Every structure is written in C-alpha cells, then in structure tokens.
C-alpha cells in the first residue's frame, strides 16, 4: 500500500471530524501488510478533551499490540510534540504526514531519531486546514496553544 493510499483513510477521518464540528485532523495506524489497525480524528471539541489528538485516537483505537516497529502512523497534519512523543515512546517505525505547511510539528525530530518519515505535501490536506483555520481561528489557536 502506498503512502498516498494510506493517507486517504486519514483524510476520511479528518472529514468525519469536520462534519462533527471538530478540528479536521485525521490519522490511522497501519500494520506491516497495509491493514488498518486503528483510525481516528482529533476530538478536542467533541469530547472536550484537549489530549484527544488524531494520532492518539488512532493509536488508542488499535488497542494493545506487541510491537510497533513495523507499523506506520499516517496523519493528515505534521504531528505535534505530544504525538511525536507517542511515536517515539512506542517505537512506531514509520510516519506518513499529509502536510506540514499549516503546522510544522515534530517530524524532523522523528527523522533524526531513526523514524522513517514521508511528507506528502498533499493539497487536500493543506486545503482542509487552510479552510478550517480561516473559518475557526479561535479553535485552531486553542488547539496549538497560541
């Protein structure tokens, strides 16, 4: 499965989050054979939980796994420090990032520490966030702590 194909699952999640009135960031955790282990989206608004980021939601949805070295975390937006920490904490081997234009998180740090990172610079992901930030700057700046 290509990074672009995997990203479509994360984009579906981002759109689901937007439809719920939330922040349109989606993610999915894939196994070594391209199977979806877990998927989710940012639920800060929906759950009233600022720690429920897309990557965290996907990770939790996957349940307990014996090892993460051969898994891939796919996210529509560059992972924040908190989610980048999750990747390193559990030794997730690979990260696919939809875009890093609207938010530049910890993906370079992940690369420096041996995680295989692919940044797709996907226009759908860029548009999702650009439109959202224009429409709801209050929510966005709350989410990134500014």
CB 137, min distance to Zn ion, A: 19
- 80 near Zn ion (CB under 5 A): yes
Does the active-site annotation cover 55?
yes
Task: Please say which residue, 45 or 66, places its beta carbon nearer to Zn ion.
Answer: 45
Task: Please say which residue, 33 or 146, places its beta carbon nearer to Zn ion.
Answer: 146
Type and span of the H or E element at 53: none
Task: Please say which residue, 82 or 140, places its beta carbon nearer to Zn ion.
Answer: 82
Identify which range of 12-20, 51-59, 118-126, 132-140 contacts Zn ion by CB under 5 A: 51-59
Helices and strands counted in the chain (H then E): 7, 5
Cα 8 to Cα 3, 27, 81, distances in angstroms: 9, 10, 23
Alpha-carbon span 5 to 28, nearest angstrom: 12
- Strand order, beta sheet including 36-41: 36-41, 26-30, 72-77, 94-99, 116-119
Identify which range of 66-74, 75-83, 87-95, 113-121 contacts Zn ion by CB under 5 A: 75-83
Task: Please say which residue, 41 or 94, places its beta carbon nearer to Zn ion.
Answer: 41
Type and span of the H or E element at 146: none
Binding-site member from 83, 87, 110, 117 for Zn ion (CB under 5 A): 83
Identify which range of 3-11, 28-36, 47-55, 92-100 contacts Zn ion by CB under 5 A: 47-55
Alpha-carbon span 84 to 112, nearest angstrom: 12
- 53 near Zn ion (CB under 5 A): yes
16 burial level (CB within 10 Å; 0-12, 13-18, 19+): middle
From the list 55, 112, 116, 142, the catalytic residue is 55
**Enzyme catalytic residues:** 55
Which residue ranges make up the site for Zn ion (CB under 5 A)? 53, 80, 82-83
């Amino acid at each position: 499965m290509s990074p672009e194909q995997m990203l479509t699952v994360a984009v579906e999640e981002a759109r689901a989050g937007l439809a719920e009135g939330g922040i349109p960031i989606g993610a999915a955790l894939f196994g070594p054979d391209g199977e979806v282990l877990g998927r989710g989206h940012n639920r800060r608004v929906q759950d009233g939980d600022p720690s429920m980021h897309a990557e965290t939601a996907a990770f939790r949805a996957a349940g307990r796994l014996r090892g993460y070295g051969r898994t891939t975390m796919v996210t529509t937006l560059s992972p924040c420090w908190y989610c980048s920490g999750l990747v390193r904490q559990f030794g997730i081997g690979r990260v696919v990032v939809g875009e890093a234009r609207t938010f530049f998180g910890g993906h370079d740090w992940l690369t420096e520490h041996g995680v295989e990172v692919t940044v797709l610079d996907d226009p759908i992901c860029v548009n999702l966030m650009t439109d959202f930030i224009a429409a709801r700057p209050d929510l966005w700046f709350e989410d990134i702590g500014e």
